[in-house]
Structure 1
Amino acid sequence: MIRRLWAQAASVEETLALWAASLREVKKRIRPLFGQERVARNAGLFLEGLLGDEQRKTGWMRAEAAGDPGPWRQQAILGRSDWDADALRDIVRDYVMEHLADDDAVLVIDETGFLKQGKASCGVARQYTGSAGKITNCQIGVFATYVSRHGHAFIDRALYLPKEWTDDPDRLEATYVPADVGFATKPKLATRMIARAIAASVPFNWVAGDTVYGVGDLEQQLRRAGKGYVLGVNSAHVFRSWGKRPPVAGTAAELARTRRPSDWKRLSAGAGTKGPRLHDWCYLELADLDAEEFNSVDQGLWTRGLLIRRRIADDDLAFFSTWCPAGTSIETLVAVEGHRWAIEDSFETAKNEFGLDHNESRSWHGWHRHVSLVMLAFAMMAAIRHRANPTPPKKTKRRHAAKAKTKPPPN
């Protein structure tokens, strides 16, 4: 794990020392969650197991790494011990804010699947997951990832319960689902996460998400909160302009077909593993609205719009509903949409490196505890990476002005 963190900005020795200090710090932070010292110690060993180099983070593997003769102590952390996974979630969020906070951050909402056998694991059902690209037997978790110029890490999570679960009291009781948990759509779970982030004064200016979250209550919530968004919508979603010339009306797909070649702009949505992630983009401003219509804090005009992405290789289209301060450039909106790659990277890393999908517990509490511990491990490594490789200072207009003043006059 240390090897994967090393970079030229910090020596291996410095990174090792930073890793050890960070691990001591996070163990100290989570200690109040556990009533007994032995349980706290086992939780620390559980965390060390997630951070270890073992490819599989199963109970037996973690037990072997901890020097235990069997997996029962590791399994007890998820199932038999009494501690609050939501309190750990909040510790993770606060830890991420201490290390990665930035006012221009993007909160990215997305989901991932956890493939399962049988019907006993809480929330398991035959349902679609993008992880497998098909309908299969799995659990679905909805996540919020905080993405800033300093790095990215999970700050919230929720297990999605299909109606076949919430309509079956026996299954809920068997997996220890709390009595106050009822059916909630994935967008509803997302609105709760955003509400928790806002209540905790998490600094962010934007929210990004795919088509599952793009229309409805989530948009209204963000407008009332004064947050911009770039949210996916399907090709049949209808857009209409008002107060703009020329007026437009139609489905997203129809509006895309009417765009002229000069309306498109080739832009990068960020750096990928093979270089800039270039696409062709088109942005339609649909209406300017007074922010005071939605909340009493913000003032000025905000713009409702449609952002269209066209893949260069095959002209495949994707559509996004946007909300932003008037005058926001298409480059800014493309950059916000490009932040969505971070949650995909987070899922891949968390599954491959930290055992996000290696949970063997079948209960509601077991899922949230396991996932929250993985989130803590991920956050710790994200903080180390940032501290070992400091982010360059953010450019400001003042810096640009100072640079312009010191520039020698032309000959």
Structure 2
Amino acid sequence: MTPYLGNALLLRRFLRPFQRVLGHTRRRKWCPLYVRGLMASLERKSLQPLAEHVAPGQYAQLHHFVTVSPWQDDQLGAVLARQAQRLVGGRDAVLIVDDTAFPKQGTCSVGVARQYCGVLGKIANCQVLVSLTLARDDVPVPLALRLFLPKVWTDDPERCAAHGVPVGHRGFLTKKQLALEEIDRVRQQGVKFKVVVADAGYGNSAEFRGALSARGLTWAVGVPATQKVYSTNVGMLTERQSKYGRLMVPIPDEQRKSVAQVLHEFPPHKWVSRTWRMGTKGPLHARFAVMRVRVADGGELHDGSHLPGEEVWVVGERRHSGERKYYLTNHPTKTTKIEIIRDIKARWSCEQVHQHLKEELGLDHFEGRSWRGLHHHALLCMIAMVYLQALRLNYVPFDPEKQRPTLPQARHMTCCALWCRYCSRGIGYG
């Protein structure tokens, strides 16, 4: 158990490795102040109100620290990765790939364009950041937030240069490619996990799934109902020559089917009810079907269809509301059904992280327009989130004199409420 320490001392100890990387004395000064401001109970956490709260009269210095000062972002990200690994990494952890959007007005902020906005559920003017979240036992911590640049930006080098986009980031990359780059980065920085999970926005890409398999990673991803598969018994017809003398490629000896059709034909008695975790309103459960298939993502045939590819599990989910969900995963053949289901359902943790980052820590409150300012703000928000999760995990039993929360209480408290509870002895920002 961690002995009780004043909140200022706990935060200083946590931030010490980050401050060493920042190097410059002024940066080491402003980092804890900004993080404390993000954790404060402010209605708006843009630079102006945040500076008024933690450093009255010093707005210009704080603005320079976030938007202008040239930090070593990679080194700071490496420290964040080590802290995340220490808290929740390991053989039982899951790495969640997702993205989060910030609706915006105008076109001046870096990366803003008309694109799909998950917050609004439609095409809108917004910024989109690809995210990585590491989670274990329903405790998630953010690892990466990287801005996605649409083609309207990458096709305009002058516009990118005006907003400070580094030269190495001006080429167009899809969200899947950005996610793969970030996965490679955090793995090199020592992050360990059991499985990569993602929703259908990433799982619908055969290239993304293949890239994860090529890296030797276990993955579990959502797929659309139209995803085509073959049975595991699919065979190939022998090559034959057409009347025009051209050699025909091998063709499967059965018709491919969608995952929705395959699972619709699955015997009803093989659909099982499973509970994967306890929610705030009780156990969460649904009916699932799990079976082995071959994904239709091999070589392309002349009619546009694809040959059988990797053998994987297909998972169907039927909720009580009538909603249907479908997943593919390359878990080993001897993996139990409940383990597969729990890994798939672990993806919800990233939604919790995005909600806390936005609603509690002001991730989407940043009003600057530059690449550097946005990524600095996002990195500081992630540092604050990891610190608060560390408070949750390194709790001590409830003490009436110190007013410390127990672990069950801490798990369900909002970020700011947890921070205020630790500040309840009136220690302040000293």
TM-score (norm 2): 0.79
Q: How much has 1:369 moved relative to structure 2? A: 0.6
1:66 matched to which residue of 2? Answer: 54
Q: How much has 1:30 moved relative to structure 2? A: 1.8
Relative to structure 1, the CA distance from residue 252 to residue 158 in structure 2 (aligned partners, 3 Å threshold; closer, same or farther) is: same
Q: How much has 1:341 moved relative to structure 2? A: 0.9
1:105 aligns with 2:93: yes
1:207 matched to which residue of 2? Answer: 196
Q: Secondary structure in 2 aligned to 1:325? A: coil
- Give the letter for the 1:141 counterpart: L
Q: Secondary structure in 1 aligned to 2:69? A: coil
Distance in 2, Cα, partners of 1:391 & 1:50: 23
Distance in 1, Cα, partners of 2:273 & 2:162: 53
On the 8 A contact 1:113/1:130 being kept in 2, the answer is yes
2:259 matched to which residue of 1? Answer: 252
1:306 matched to which residue of 2? Answer: 314
1:220 matched to which residue of 2? Answer: 210
Relative to structure 1, the CA distance from residue 150 to residue 112 in structure 2 (aligned partners, 3 Å threshold; closer, same or farther) is: closer
Deviations for 1:345-392, whole angstroms, at most 9, x for unmatched residues?
Answer: 000011111111111121111111110000000001111101117999
Relative to structure 1, the CA distance from residue 67 to residue 333 in structure 2 (aligned partners, 3 Å threshold; closer, same or farther) is: same
On the 8 A contact 2:96/2:198 being kept in 1, the answer is yes
Q: How much has 1:244 moved relative to structure 2? A: 8.1
User: Which deviates the most, 98-107 or 368-377?
Assistant: 98-107
Q: Secondary structure in 2 aligned to 1:54? A: coil
2:35 matched to which residue of 1? Answer: 47
1:388 matched to which residue of 2? Answer: 395
Q: How much has 1:35 moved relative to structure 2? A: 4.4
Distance in 2, Cα, partners of 1:25 & 1:209: 34
Relative to structure 1, the CA distance from residue 331 to residue 19 in structure 2 (aligned partners, 3 Å threshold; closer, same or farther) is: farther
Q: Secondary structure in 1 aligned to 2:360? A: helix
- Give the letter for the 1:199 counterpart: Q
On the 8 A contact 1:100/1:383 being kept in 2, the answer is no
Q: How much has 1:248 moved relative to structure 2? A: 8.5
2:223 matched to which residue of 1? Answer: 233
- Give the letter for the 1:320 counterpart: Y
Q: Secondary structure in 2 aligned to 1:319? A: strand
Given candidates 323, 326, 332, the residue that maps to 1:325 is 332
Relative to structure 1, the CA distance from residue 187 to residue 42 in structure 2 (aligned partners, 3 Å threshold; closer, same or farther) is: same
Q: How much has 1:174 moved relative to structure 2? A: 1.2
Q: How much has 1:106 moved relative to structure 2? A: 0.5
Q: How much has 1:126 moved relative to structure 2? A: 1.2
Given candidates 305, 316, 331, the residue that maps to 2:323 is 316
Structure number with bigger Rg: 2
Q: Secondary structure in 2 aligned to 1:180? A: helix
Q: Secondary structure in 1 aligned to 2:381? A: helix
Deviations for 1:239-270, whole angstroms, at most 9, x for unmatched residues?
Answer: 1122489x994011211321222121111232
1:408 matched to which residue of 2? Answer: none
**Which runs of at least 4 in structure 1 moved beyond 4 Å after TM superposition?**
389-392
User: Which deviates the most, 381-390 or 116-125?
Assistant: 381-390
Deviations for 1:260-299, whole angstroms, at most 9, x for unmatched residues?
Answer: 22121111232222222222111111259xxxxxxxxxxx
Aligned positions of 1:18-37 closer than 5 A: 19-37=7-25
What is the root-mean-square deviation of aligned Cα atoms in Å? 2.4
Q: How much has 1:109 moved relative to structure 2? A: 0.5
Relative to structure 1, the CA distance from residue 334 to residue 237 in structure 2 (aligned partners, 3 Å threshold; closer, same or farther) is: same
On the 8 A contact 2:111/2:153 being kept in 1, the answer is yes
Q: How much has 1:202 moved relative to structure 2? A: 1.6
On the 8 A contact 2:219/2:331 being kept in 1, the answer is yes
Deviations for 1:4-31, whole angstroms, at most 9, x for unmatched residues?
Answer: xxxxx99xxx66x264333112332122
1:198 matched to which residue of 2? Answer: 187
User: Which deviates the most, 261-270 or 362-371?
Assistant: 261-270
On the 8 A contact 1:34/1:82 being kept in 2, the answer is no
Given candidates 86, 89, 96, the residue that maps to 2:84 is 96
On the 8 A contact 1:110/1:343 being kept in 2, the answer is yes
Q: How much has 1:46 moved relative to structure 2? A: 0.8
Q: Percent identity?
A: 30
Distance in 1, Cα, partners of 2:285 & 2:64: 48
Q: How much has 1:115 moved relative to structure 2? A: 1.4
1:120 matched to which residue of 2? Answer: 108
1:344 matched to which residue of 2? Answer: 351
Unaligned 5+ runs, structure 2: 236-253, 296-309, 397-405, 409-430
Relative to structure 1, the CA distance from residue 263 to residue 125 in structure 2 (aligned partners, 3 Å threshold; closer, same or farther) is: same
Distance in 1, Cα, partners of 2:94 & 2:232: 28
Relative to structure 1, the CA distance from residue 391 to residue 248 in structure 2 (aligned partners, 3 Å threshold; closer, same or farther) is: farther
- Give the letter for the 2:129 counterpart: G
On the 8 A contact 2:200/2:224 being kept in 1, the answer is yes
Distance in 1, Cα, partners of 2:341 & 2:234: 22
2:383 matched to which residue of 1? Answer: 376
On the 8 A contact 2:84/2:386 being kept in 1, the answer is yes
Q: Secondary structure in 2 aligned to 1:144? A: strand
On the 8 A contact 2:194/2:218 being kept in 1, the answer is yes
Distance in 1, Cα, partners of 2:145 & 2:344: 21
On the 8 A contact 1:282/1:308 being kept in 2, the answer is yes
- Give the letter for the 1:312 counterpart: H
Q: How much has 1:70 moved relative to structure 2? A: 5.1
Deviations for 1:152-177, whole angstroms, at most 9, x for unmatched residues?
Answer: 10111210000011001121011111
- Give the letter for the 1:257 counterpart: H
2:272 matched to which residue of 1? Answer: 265
On the 8 A contact 2:89/2:192 being kept in 1, the answer is yes
Deviations for 1:62-105, whole angstroms, at most 9, x for unmatched residues?
Answer: 11121322532222122121212232222111111122222111
Distance in 2, Cα, partners of 1:219 & 1:156: 20
Q: How much has 1:303 moved relative to structure 2? A: 5.6
On the 8 A contact 1:228/1:322 being kept in 2, the answer is yes
Given candidates 179, 184, 198, the residue that maps to 2:173 is 184
On the 8 A contact 2:199/2:221 being kept in 1, the answer is yes
